[in-house]
Amino acid sequence: MRVFVVNSGSSSIKYQLIDVATEQVVLAGLLERIGQEGGDAADHDTGMRLVLERLGAEAGTISAVGHRVVHGGDVFTAPVVIDEAVEAGIQAVSALAPLHNPANLAGIRAARAALPAVPHVAVFDTAFHQTMPEAAATYAIDRAVATAHGVRRYGFHGTSHQFVAGRAAALLGRPLHELKLIVLHLGNGASATAIDGGRSIDTSMGLTPLAGLVMGTRSGDLDPGALLHLLRAGLSVDELDALLNSRSGLLGLAGSSDMRDVRAAAEAGDADAERALAVWAHRIRHYVGAYLAQLGGLDAVVFTAGVGENAPALRARALAGLEHLGLALDAARNAAASRDARIISPEGSRVAVLVVPTNEELAIAQAAAALVG
């Protein structure tokens, strides 16, 4: 079975045609600057027609289309076959992800128009975290206000966390339902999730993808009082939004959002870059300790995503000082260059440490295939 996976942004369409049985990518591509002068397409409808032209005869092999949707609110707790009611539901929760859901929906509508004869499936970044207990999902603000505005913790990167947890269980040779895991999705966007028996019980992102770990341009956790202070100091809501989402994190601390640049600057003696790395690692350790307490035990910590998969020195830094919790790295295993899922802790460690490559497109394809058969 072949599934066409679409990740539609406000000005881009990323796509892959995946053979689910072999897990191989048959064809992949990207349209950029949609709707912009000199861009690849005037709008998403035109862009999707261009994608079908690129697919050529392969378009006839598509059995289903899987769509990444960032926010499902508390309405969508699992992948769903898309119809008009589902489109309306995605639109209804767009206020919770105004930069993402409208773009996801534009891609869905364009793809359904271009490929009307096959089922389309929405896979939500937030769905995996809907198993969080109420105590973990609730903010301690006025209940009526929170309910009226949908203010609660939803979590993100759920497709990645769920996929990686399954691959970690296979690597360990144990059933997922027996395992207590902490998955660290460390890329330009970053999040941590505590997974107990295959279920998310806590995660670092919240109402939006702004909370939690230090990211490339996003602040992660911040005292809400700091926002009030900056508003009273004269920053507008839009300026504050831009500050926290686009000018904070590694960029705000070290002048670059690219971890490779920050590491190079730190190694060259740049004090700001070294401080940024220290803050980044401190925040990760904070969550590892907190989630170990919530899980009541731990079988493995799993690194994934761009930084987590490819930066051995940063993996070591993130876990430094946690040896008393049973967390240690084998230096040679950690440093070994590999793109495979692997164990990087010493033989016989009380807690395993793994590197497991994520593949959100494959996860979306598998979810779509499982739903439509």
**What is the C-alpha to C-alpha distance for residues 78 and 62, in angstroms, rounded to an integer?**
22
Contact 109, 49 (CB under 8 A): no
Measuring CA to CA, which residue among 137, 124, 133 is closest to residue 204? 137
Task: Print burial letters for 280-293: b (CB count within 10 Å at least 16), e (below 16).
Answer: bbebbbebbeebbe
- Catalytic residue, chosen from 40, 43, 125, 270, is 125
The structure tokens listed for 275 are 């401080």
Triad 146, 240, 137: Cα angle to 5°: 30
Alpha helices in the chain (DSSP H): 44-55, 84-92, 101-114, 134-137, 143-149, 158-172, 224-232, 237-246, 249-254, 259-267, 271-295, 305-310, 312-319, 331-335, 360-372
**208 alpha-carbon distance from chain centroid:** 12
Nearest CA to 351 out of 315, 326, 316, 317 is that of: 326
Catalytic-residue membership of 125: yes
Residue 135: helix, strand or coil by DSSP? helix
Show which residues are catalytic. 125
